[in-house]
C-alpha cells in the first residue's frame, strides 16, 4: 500500500512522506525520530497522522504534529548548515558565563546572530568574567536603538534567547512593557508565536516571580531556568555550565553533538541511577 502524506511546515514549506507499507512507515518514523533525538514516540506520531488524515484531529493534536515537523525541518536545515536568524539578549542576572558558552557553541559565521546586552548585564559580566568575548560575526545592538529588524513582526526570525534573564526583565515582559529593544523584541516574538526562550537565574522565588513565569508560559514563552544537571558527572565549571547551554541549543533547534543525553546508547553512564 502506498501512502503519500504532505504536511505543512514553516514558511510555506511542506514535508512529503511516502510510505510503502506499514512496516516501512514504522521504520521511517522510528529513524526520523531517532535521528532527531525527539519525542513523540512512533506510536504517538502515527496516531496523530491518522487523526489528521481523517480530519478527526483536535486542534491540539494538529498543533503538536505541526511543532514536531517544524522542529524536524529546523534540524534538517541546520544539518545542511542553512542559516538561522537568532536574537540573543543578556540581562543583569548572575550567569554571564551561560551567554559566553552559548555564543561559543553557535556557529555565528553560518547563522545570523543579533545580540543585545543590558547595562546591568555588562556590570554583572565584569564581575563574573575576566574576559568576556563576543565572536566578531555577531551583530551587537544598543538597548535603545529600535532601528533593528527583529522589533518588527514582519521580519522573520527563528528564536530569541534571553540568557541570563533577570527577574526584572522577566517581569517587564510579563507586563507587556516594550520600552527597550530587548523588551519590544520579546513582545514581538510572543505575538508572532515565535520561540522565546528565557533563562532566569534567581533563587528563591517570591510569588510575583512565580506568577510572572506562569503568565509567560501561558503566552507561549519557554522558561528554561539556569539549573545545571549533574548526571553527566561534569568535571569543570564549564562542563557544569554546558549542561544548561545544551538545553538552550536543543530548544533553539541547533545541532548539539557534544550534549550528554540520558540513556543514549554507547554511554558508559547510562546505567547510572539518576537522582
Ligand atoms: C552583581 C549582581 C548580580 C545580580 N544577580 C541577579 C540574579 O541572579 N538574578 C536577578 O534576577 N537579578 C540579579 N541582579 C539584579 C538585576 O541586575 C537588576 O534587577 C536589574 O535591574 C536588572 O536589569 P536588566 O534586566 O535590565 O538587566 C543582580 C545585580 C547585580 C549587580
Report d(CA 29, CA 19) in Å as an integer. 10
Percent of the chain with pLDDT over 90: 62
Out of 88, 91, 92, give the residue to mutate to test ligand 1, the one with the largest number of ligand atoms within 8 Å of its CB.
92
Residue ranges of the chain assigned to CATH 3.40.50.1950: 85-252
Q: Are strands 3-8 and 85-90 parallel, antiparallel or unpaired?
A: unpaired
Mean pLDDT in residue range 220-224: 97
Q: How far is the CA of 193 from the centre of ligand 1 (A)?
A: 27
**Which of 28-32, 34-38, 203-207 shows the highest mean pLDDT?**
203-207
Mean predicted lDDT score pLDDT of the chain? 81
Place of cell 529546523: 74
Mean pLDDT in residue range 10-37: 55
Mean pLDDT in residue range 194-222: 98
Give the ligand 1 atom nearest the CA of 169: 25
Which pLDDT score is estimated for 49? 62
Which pLDDT score is estimated for 3? 54
DSSP 154-197: TS--SEEEEEEE-HHHHHHHHHT---SHHHHHHHHHHHTT-EEE
Ligand 1 contact via 169 beta carbon (within 6 Å): yes
Nearest to 140 by CA among 120, 114, 102: 114
Q: 136 is written with which cell numbers?
A: 566578531
39 torsion bin: left (phi>0), alpha (psi -120 to 50), beta (else): beta
Ligand 1 contact via 212 beta carbon (within 6 Å): no
Task: Give yes or no for a contact between 86 and 114, defined as CB atoms under 8 angstroms apart.
Answer: yes
Out of 115, 117, 120, 186, give the residue to mutate to test ligand 1, the one with the largest number of ligand atoms within 8 Å of its CB.
120
172: confidence class by pLDDT, cuts 50, 70, 90: very high
Q: The pTM is what?
A: 0.73
Mean pLDDT in residue range 142-154: 94
| Model pLDDT for residues 111-145, shown as the tens digit of each residue | 999 999 999 999 999 999 998 889 999 999 999 99
Ligand 1 contact via 117 beta carbon (within 6 Å): no
| Model pLDDT for residues 69-128, shown as the tens digit of each residue | 555 555 444 444 468 999 999 999 999 999 999 999 999 999 999 999 999 999 999 999
Ligand 1 contact via 57 beta carbon (within 6 Å): no
Ligand 1 contact via 168 beta carbon (within 6 Å): yes
Give the ligand 1 atom nearest the CA of 166: 11
247: confidence class by pLDDT, cuts 50, 70, 90: very high
Report d(CA 40, CA 157) in Å as an integer. 25
Helix (H) or strand (E) segment spanning residue 105:
helix 96-105
Give the ligand 1 atom nearest the CA of 91: 27
Q: How far is the CA of 93 from the centre of ligand 1 (A)?
A: 4
Extract the runs of DSSP E, i.e. beta strands, from 76-173. 85-90, 112-117, 139-141, 159-165
Which pLDDT score is estimated for 6? 54
Question: CA triplet 101, 102, 107: central angle to 5 degrees?
Answer: 110
* 22, pLDDT greater than 50: yes
Percent of the chain with pLDDT over 70: 66
Ligand 1: residue whose CA is nearest its atom 13: 93
Ligand 1 contact via 91 beta carbon (within 6 Å): yes
Q: How far is the CA of 194 from the centre of ligand 1 (A)?
A: 26
Ligand 1 contact via 111 beta carbon (within 6 Å): no
What is 85-252's CATH number, 2.40.50.140, 3.40.50.1950, 3.90.550.10, 3.30.565.60?
3.40.50.1950
Residue 30 CB neighbour total at 10 angstroms: 13
Task: Give yes or no for a contact between 231 and 269, defined as CB atoms under 8 angstroms apart.
Answer: yes
Task: Give yes or no for a contact between 19 and 28, defined as CB atoms under 8 angstroms apart.
Answer: yes
263: confidence class by pLDDT, cuts 50, 70, 90: confident
Ligand 1 contact via 163 beta carbon (within 6 Å): no
Nearest to 72 by CA among 39, 108, 113, 24: 39
Q: 103 is written with which cell numbers?
A: 555564543
Ligand 1 contact via 74 beta carbon (within 6 Å): no
Amino acid at each position: 500500500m502506498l501512502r503519500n502524506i504532505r504536511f505543512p511546515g514553516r514558511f510555506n514549506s511542506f514535508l512529503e512522506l511516502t510510505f510503502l507499507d506499514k512496516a516501512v512507515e514504522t521504520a521511517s518514523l522510528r529513524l526520523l525520530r531517532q535521528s532527531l533525538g525527539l519525542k513523540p514516540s512512533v506510536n504517538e506520531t502515527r496516531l496523530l497522522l491518522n487523526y489528521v488524515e481523517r480530519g478527526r484531529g483536535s486542534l491540539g493534536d494538529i498543533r503538536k504534529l505541526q511543532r514536531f515537523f517544524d522542529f524536524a525541518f529546523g534540524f534538517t536545515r541546520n544539518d545542511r548548515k542553512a542559516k538561522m536568524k537568532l536574537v540573543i539578549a543578556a540581562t543583569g542576572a548572575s550567569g554571564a558565563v551561560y551567554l559566553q558558552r552559548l555564543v561559543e557553541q553557535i556557529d555565528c559565521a553560518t547563522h545570523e546572530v543579533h545580540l543585545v546586552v543590558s547595562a546591568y548585564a555588562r556590570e554583572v559580566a565584569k564581575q563574573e568574567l575576566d574576559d568576556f568575548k563576543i565572536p566578531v560575526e555577531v551583530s551587537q545592538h544598543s538597548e535603545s536603538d529600535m532601528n533593528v529588524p527583529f522589533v518588527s513582526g514582519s521580519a522573520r526570525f527563528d528564536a530569541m534567547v534571553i540568557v541570563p534573564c533577570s527577574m526584572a526583565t522577566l517581569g517587564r515582559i510579563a507586563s507587556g512593557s516594550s520600552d527597550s529593544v530587548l523588551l519590544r523584541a520579546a513582545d514581538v516574538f510572543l505575538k508572532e508565536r515565535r520561540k522565546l526562550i528565557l533563562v532566569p537565574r534567581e533563587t528563591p522565588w517570591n510569588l510575583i516571580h512565580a506568577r510572572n513565569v506562569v503568565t509567560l508560559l501561558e503566552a507561549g514563552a519557554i522558561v528554561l531556568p539556569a539549573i545545571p544537571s549533574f548526571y553527566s558527572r561534569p568535571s569543570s565549571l564549564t562542563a557544569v555550565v554546558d549542561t544548561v547551554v545544551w538545553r538552550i541549543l536543543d530548544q533553539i533547534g541547533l545541532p548539539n553533538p557534544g550534549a550528554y543525553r540520558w540513556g543514549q546508547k554507547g554511554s558508559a553512564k547510562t546505567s547510572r541511577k539518576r537522582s
